[in-house]
């Protein structure tokens, strides 16, 4: 592994709930960060977005598509659970997920948080900026 790749992996592991195996699986599934123009498309590639059924006047949104890499999806799902239950430090990401748990339930919130973690990982990988716990860190940087 090159020195650059090691530093990228350490950078990705700065995201709460994400460990070495999650990062390695994510990096191997995406291969190149430039593969996607927008980070939000990574969630669809990994099968973490809802299926859509459209026909005539019917427009339904169903369960997640599960069309991507199953291992990465399960690692991100577990990382989302860790962030919700084990990570004690407050962040806007965790606050968003906790509000979603209250509205939609634990498992739906975990899937939504897993998708958001995939988007964050991709954005960090592309920009090289570390994960910021608060908005104050963003303003100071």
C-alpha triplet 29, 23, 131: angle, nearest 5°:
120
**Structural domain spans, the chain:** 3-131
Angle at 119 between CA 40 and CA 9, to 5 degrees: 140
Residue 47 corresponds to which tokens in the numbers above? 């099968």
Residue stretches of the chain with pLDDT short of 50: 1, 3, 139
pTM for this one?
0.86
Taking the CA atoms of the chain, what radius of gyration do you get in angstroms?
16
pLDDT tens figures, 34-49: 989 899 899 989 999 8
What is the model's pLDDT at position 7?
73
pLDDT, residue 8, reads 75
Q: What integer pLDDT is reported at residue 62 of this predicted model?
A: 78
């Amino acid at each position: 592994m090159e020195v650059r790749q090691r530093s990228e992996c350490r950078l990705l592991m700065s995201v709460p709930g994400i460990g070495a195996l999650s990062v390695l699986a994510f990096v191997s599934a995406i291969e190149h960060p430039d593969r996607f123009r927008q980070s939000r498309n990574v969630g669809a590639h990994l099968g973490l977005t809802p299926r859509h059924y459209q026909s005539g006047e019917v427009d339904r949104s169903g369960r997640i598509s599960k069309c991507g890499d199953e291992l990465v999806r399960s690692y991100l799902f577990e990382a989302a659970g860790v962030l919700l239950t084990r990570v004690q430090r407050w962040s806007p990401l965790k606050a968003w997920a906790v509000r979603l748990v209250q509205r939609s339930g634990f498992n739906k919130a975990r899937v939504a948080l897993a998708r958001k973690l995939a988007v964050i990982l991709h954005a960090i990988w592309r920009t090289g900026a570390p994960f910021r716990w608060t908005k104050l860190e963003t303003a100071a940087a």
